[in-house]
Homo-oligomer: A and B are copies of this chain.
Amino acid sequence: MTYRYELPMKVRDYELDCQGIVNNANYQHYIEHTRHEFIFAHGISFTDLHERGIDAVVARLTMSFKTPLRSGDDFLSCLNVQKEGIKYVFLQDIYRQSDHQLCLRAKVDIVCLVDGELVRNVPELDKLLEE
């Protein structure tokens, strides 16, 4: 599979739970951080957008947990993005580096608010859709 953006990351021990695997909520952190880094690589910052009254918010999130990450695991957090109606849809997969095993498959629907009102397009985010 081909991705628009790939971010190498590593499990930190404070992310583990008492079962010795990464607590599920941290995958949401991982994929949020990946989106922010992807966007930042296009010269855009979520916090800058927020200060200008533009908020990109997650409307819906689906995550399938395939293989748990463990202490010390290196992983690759991968991303594609497409437009579906009003939504910017991020398809995000996480792979364990040691054996390329798929760990997480996620779909994140993002909508944009400008001064609290839903808008169809934000030029800064439309840039992300171009190859």
Contact = CB atoms under 8 A, between A and B. Distances in A.
Q: How large is the interface on A (under 10, 10 to 19, 20 to 34, 35 or more residues)?
A: 35 or more
Describe A's contact surface by its main secondary structure.
mixed
Contacts of A33: 12-14
A65 B61 CA distance: 8
A24 B28 CA distance: 8
B47 A13 contact: yes
B59 A60 contact: no
Residue of A18, A20, A55 contacting most chain B CB atoms (<10 Å): A18
Contact of A18 (B24, B29, B50): B50
Interface of A: 12-14, 16-20, 23-26, 28-29, 32-33, 36, 40, 45-47, 50, 55, 57-65, 68, 71-72
